Amino acid sequence: MGLFENKKGLILGIANDSSIASIIAKEIMRQGGMIGVTHLPDRPDDEKKKNTMRVRKALKGFDDQVKFLTPLDVQDDANIQSVMDEAGREFGEIDFLLHSVAFASLDDLRVPTLGCSREGFKMAMDVSAYSLIAVANAAQSILREDSAITCMTYYGGEKVVPGYNMMGVCKAALESITKYLAYDLGPSKIRVNALSAGPVKTLAGVAAGVREMLALYDGMAPLGRNISESEIANTGAFLLSEMSNGITGEVMHLDCGYNIMGSPGRLTEQIDVGK
Catalytically annotated residues: 154, 164
Identity of the residue numbered 115: G
Going by C-alpha positions, the residue among 41, 151, 132, 37 that lies closest to residue 87 is 37
Residues 6+ apart with CB under 8 A from 224: 218, 256, 266
Separation between Cα atoms, residue 167 and residue 159, nearest integer Å: 12
* CA nearest to 248, candidates 197, 187, 199, 198: 187
Q: Is residue 145 classed as helix, strand or coil in its secondary structure?
A: strand
Nearest residue to 194 via CA among 204, 210, 179, 206: 179
User: Cα 171 to chain center, whole Å?
Assistant: 10
DSSP-assigned beta bridge partners for residue 10: 36, 97
Helix or strand or coil: residue 15? coil
